[in-house]
Structure 1
Amino acid sequence: MIIEDLSVRFGAFTAVDGVTLPIPPGSAVGLVGESGSGKSTLARAVAGLVPYTGRIEGARRVQMVFQDPYASLDPRMTVGASIGEGLRGLGRDARRREVARLLDLVALPADLAGRYPRELSGGQRQRVAIARALGARPELLIADEITSALDVSVQGAVLNLVRTLRAELGLSMLFISHNLAVVRYVCDVIAVMREGRLVETGPAEEVVAEPRHDYTRALLAAVPRLTGERG
């Protein structure tokens, strides 16, 4: 898909200013920038959650996984009901089997389907949110800061899950984070956003190894270990 000359304005304030960004099929594009840079607003525009000008072509089915998994799941619905909500056209048995398949896909046991979000850990809730998004068979999956609300001990496991799902399903993904180390680990391409505009875009390793923009260099400096080899 391609995002072309996309802008989002709230009154006189321009949150996203003329962004053009291709997301090739099967690739993961990482959108990185500080808080307030416009990256989450861009994501919401692509997901159809805020009005925008410009064009978005090539992805009719877009699903979004949000930062806070507890806020994105209805506490009154079981895990199975939440995941099954988007499985339209399936009978009860087929829906139950599909919920079990989706839970297995995100490395959760099928018996979690009968539990409520409050009974799960933060990492489990985020896996449920991912499973629910995948149930809609999206052409583009948007992940908006999906590890930043999780304990450090489970962030790596969720990132590894995302990498595994990409490999198994050939997902196209827009992955949003303020952390360049996280984006580098997950994505093929890095796009750096500042004050509503893209200031640098390129292959992940090139952007990390030879950043062209001062702002990218500042983001790199904030993660000292990123300049070394992956551990």
Structure 2
Amino acid sequence: MSVLDFDRVTVTFGRHTVVRDVSLAVPEGAVVGLVGGSGCGKSTLARAAAGLVPLAGGRITVDGGSPRGRISMVFQDPYSSLDPRMRIGATLAEALPRRTPDRKSEVARLLDLVDLAPDRARMYPHQLSGGQRQRVAIARALAGDPDVIIADEITSALDVSIQGTVLNLIRELHRRMRLTVLFISHNLAVVRYVSDTIAVMQEGRIVEHGPADDVLSAPEHPYTRELLEAVTP
């Protein structure tokens, strides 16, 4: 795993600037939580890292070089991100590197990695629950052996009862594999559960950034305090 670095990144849509001069590093083997309200630009920043939207300024690198082919994303809606016409096994096999010698065994290993039974390989996405589909999406992201994983609002489309199991899976995978993860959410309670470091985004800018314990115990920016108050009973 490697370092993902955003260096003064700006993204515009027409005349509207969505991401403004953002600099942020995701260290090797760390989980950095990026939190902010709807429309703040956090998902746009993620899509820029994955090459899905162009930059208007700045650079995004992995270990100082191009991020192309080195980043995998897990998207918010696990149903729309999976091809409904493909069985789960075929979806995972398609994401494997060409050099993979035994694709069937590797598919089984990936399913086991996300706590799904091997027989799920024969099923279609509509035959799985939302939580199971998101586990498949995580397995697919891992299939290409990426340097960085970007998880973009991966629990927001799930029932509250299922969200915890997916978050626990992310924590366990990080512990076992030392994944480098940019974890994006609008929910500070979710981010605080999985992250080593937290960055707070408002109106396209990073307004606060630091170790999770520091940001949560002594937030410096009013917007961070507002987010924290929203999840404090």
Per the normalisation by structure 1, the TM-score is 0.95
Matches within 5 A, 1:11-26: 11-26=14-29
Counterpart position of 1:125: 133
Deviation string 1:94-142 (CA, Å, 9 cap, x unpaired) is 0000000000000001110000000000000000000000001111100
Aligned pairs for 1:186-225 (under 5 A) are 186-225=194-233
Give how far 1:209 is off: 0.4
1:141 matches 2:146: no
SS in 2 for 1:129: helix
Match of 2:62 among 55, 58, 62: 58
Does structure 1 residue 67 correspond to structure 2 residue 76? yes
For 1:191, the aligned partner's letter is A
1:7 counterpart = 2:21: no
Residue 55 of structure 1 aligns to a residue in which SS?
strand
Quote the RMSD (CA, aligned, Å). 1.0
TM-score by length of 2: 0.94
The equivalent residue for 2:87 is 78
Q: By how many angstroms is 1:66 displaced?
A: 0.4
SS of corresponding position for 1:71? coil
Secondary structure in 2 matching 1:166? helix
Partner Cα separation in structure 2 for residue 47 and residue 202 of structure 1: 24
The equivalent position to 1:27 in structure 2, one of 30, 33, 57, is: 30
150, 173, 181: which is aligned to 1:173?
181
Q: Is the Cα–Cα contact under 8 Å of residues 97 and 144 in structure 2 kept in the other structure?
A: no
Instruction: State the 4+ residue runs in structure 1 displaced beyond 4 angstroms.
Output: none
Offset of residue 88 of structure 1: 3.3
User: 1:77 deviation in Å?
Assistant: 0.1
Q: Partner amino acid for 1:86?
A: A
SS at match of 2:39: coil
Which whole-Å deviations, capped at 9, do the CAs of 1:49-107 have from their partners, x for residues lacking one? 0001211122530000000000000000000011111113256x700000000000000
Return 5+ residue gaps in structure 1 as ranges.
226-231
Alignment partner of 2:199: what SS?
strand
Report the residue type matching 1:26 in the other structure: G
In 2, Cα distance between equivalents of 1:47 and 1:28: 17
Distance 1:129 1:22 in 2: 25
